[in-house]
């Protein structure tokens, strides 16, 4: 089974566009395809054995690149020391993490020797060919999945997911259809490894790449109130480290003199907008791949003037209408009736046609919902 390959700039197919619209709640009642679940009759263990046999002869065929059969073959670990992170692979932690059903996550990046990240467009970094990213998901202390992103050629990104074996010694490449139920995360709720189409839906096709590795996320001016914020540990790469190691081109000394941050009049607004940037901004921005009429929630746009973005969300009508409300009366954020805010309603929902984020989560983020609801009442209610 081949890992998903995304070329740039390739136009998204109509089926893929329809899938994104369905997941974004714009399909007006249509149910999303159930095909992504795939291989439901198989157990995770038997699926892993089948995949391993299928990929025993993984190789390049007719210049089409494939993801390795095993995670240990991707370059994450030292060949001579199983489980030890390879030299040149560096850990990082975005200051505003994406909600992933409470998973514990570890992230790494590897840049080819002698290369640098192109920062000509500060809000849209271009990564050199050969760049690799990994993100490991654990639930209840057990590794469940590791995702792998690889810029294999100038116009090809390869996205792959690996399912950890029960012994925890290695992880095996998952099929394009994904794998259901690889880990229990709550009573009656399990983590699914996503299908290839879901990876494309989040990471995009016109400018594919990582989502949480940018100037704001790696800034040394970390937000102490960030929702689900993770502490930096020794050796983690930051914006300052990238600059000092000569890994940004052109060089960005201004990011050291004045580290990027979301500039707002109060700390709670800063934290909320950081959460929106991480969880919503990939799609909900002026250059995203779905139709969107609200203020841009992209990390670089939010950072430029956070208070202006917050005010725009408060006044912004939305085409998506809250059930039971008259057409045209639903606002993205409603200071008068916070529970009637479209954004909060959709964060609470886990129905495929209305939930937000639309992918990668089966449990709502109650901590974020409570934080944002309080913010609407205390801060936006003053305006």
199 pLDDT band (50/70/90 cuts)?
Answer: confident
Which stretch of 11-15, 151-155, 359-363 has the lowest confidence by average pLDDT?
A: 11-15
Question: What average pLDDT does the chain have?
Answer: 85
pLDDT score recorded for residue 381 = 60
The CA-based angle 141-103-45, given to 5 degrees, is 65
* pLDDT tens per residue, range 178-188: 999 999 999 99
Torsion on CA atoms 307, 228, 318, 267, rounded to nearest 10: -20
Strands 4-7 and 156-164: antiparallel
Q: Is the pLDDT of residue 57 over 80?
A: no
Confidence (pLDDT) at 12:
41
Do residues 190 and 180 touch, judged by C-beta distance below 8 A? yes
pTM of the full predicted structure? 0.83
**In the predicted structure, residue 120 carries a pLDDT above the cut 60:** yes
List, in order, residues 6 or more apart from 320 with CB less than 8 Å away. 25, 26, 330, 342, 346, 354
Q: What is the DSSP letter of 117?
A: E
User: Which positions ≥6 away from 86 have C-beta within 8 Å?
Assistant: 75, 76, 77, 78, 79, 110
Pairing, β 156-164 against β 142-153: antiparallel
Helices (H) and strands (E) in the chain, counts: 10, 13
> What confidence score (pLDDT) does residue 11 get?
41
Q: Is the pLDDT of residue 36 over 50?
A: no
Strands 81-85 vs 104-110: parallel, antiparallel or unpaired: unpaired
Q: Rounded to 5 degrees, what are φ and ψ at 191?
A: -85, 130
The angle, 0 to 180 degrees and rounded to 10, between the axes of the packed helices 14-23 and 196-203 is 80
Q: Kindly state the percentage of the chain with pLDDT values over 90.
A: 65
Cα atoms in the 13 Å half-sphere on the side-chain side of 2:
10
Burial 273-290 (b: 16+ CB within 10 A, else e): bbbbbbbbbbbbbeebbe
Rg (CA), the chain: 21
pLDDT exceeds cutoff 90 at 165: yes
Closest CA to 367 of 348, 349, 352: 348
pLDDT digits (tens, 9 = 90+) for 259-298: 999 999 999 999 999 999 999 998 888 776 666 778 999 9
Q: Which residues contact 193 (CB under 8 A, 6 or more apart)?
A: 145, 161, 163, 174, 178, 179, 180, 182
pLDDT tens-digit map of 212-229? 999 999 999 999 999 999
The per-residue pLDDT for 325 is 85
Look at residue 7 in the predicted model and tell me its pLDDT.
46
Instruction: Determine the pLDDT at residue 25.
Output: 43
């Amino acid at each position: 089974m081949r890992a998903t390959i995304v070329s740039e700039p390739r136009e998204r197919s109509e089926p893929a566009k329809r899938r994104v619209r369905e997941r974004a709640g714009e399909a007006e009642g249509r149910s999303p395809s159930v095909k992504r679940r795939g291989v439901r009759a198989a157990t995770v263990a038997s699926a892993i054995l089948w995949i391993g046999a299928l990929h025993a002869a993984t190789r390049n065929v007719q210049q089409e690149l494939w993801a390795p059969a095993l995670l240990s073959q991707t370059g994450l670990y030292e060949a001579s020391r199983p489980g030890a992170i390879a030299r040149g692979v560096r850990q990082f932690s975005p200051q505003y993490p994406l909600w992933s059903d409470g998973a514990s996550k570890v992230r790494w990046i590897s840049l080819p020797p002698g290369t640098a990240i192109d920062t000509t467009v500060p809000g849209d970094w271009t990564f050199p060919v050969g760049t690799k990213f990994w993100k490991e998901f654990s639930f209840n202390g057990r590794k469940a999945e590791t995702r792998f992103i690889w810029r294999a050629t100038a116009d090809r990104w390869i996205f792959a997911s690996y399912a950890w074996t029960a012994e925890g010694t290695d992880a095996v490449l998952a099929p394009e259809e994904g794998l259901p139920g690889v880990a229990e995360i709550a009573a009656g709720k399990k983590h699914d490894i996503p299908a290839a189409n879901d990876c494309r839906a989040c990471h995009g096709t016109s400018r594919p790449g990582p989502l949480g590795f940018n100037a704001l996320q790696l800034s040394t001016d970390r937000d102490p109130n960030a929702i689900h914020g993770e502490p930096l540990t020794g050796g983690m790469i930051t914006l300052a480290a990238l600059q000092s190691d000569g890994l940004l081109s052109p060089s960005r000394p201004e990011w050291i003199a004045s580290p990027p941050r979301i500039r707002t009049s109060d700390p709670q607004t800063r934290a909320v907008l950081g959460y929106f940037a991480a969880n919503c901004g990939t799609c909900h921005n002026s250059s995203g791949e779905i139709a969107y009429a609200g203020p841009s929630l992209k990390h670089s746009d939010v950072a430029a003037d956070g208070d202006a973005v917050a005010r725009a969300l408060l006044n912004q009508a939305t085409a998506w209408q809250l059930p039971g409300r008259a057409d045209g009366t639903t606002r993205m954020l409603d200071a008068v009736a916070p529970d009637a805010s479209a954004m909060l309603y959709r964060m609470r929902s886990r129905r495929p046609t209305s939930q937000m984020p639309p992918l990668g989560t089966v449990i709502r983020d109650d901590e974020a919902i409570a934080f944002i609801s309080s913010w609407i009442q205390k801060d936006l209610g003053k305006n």
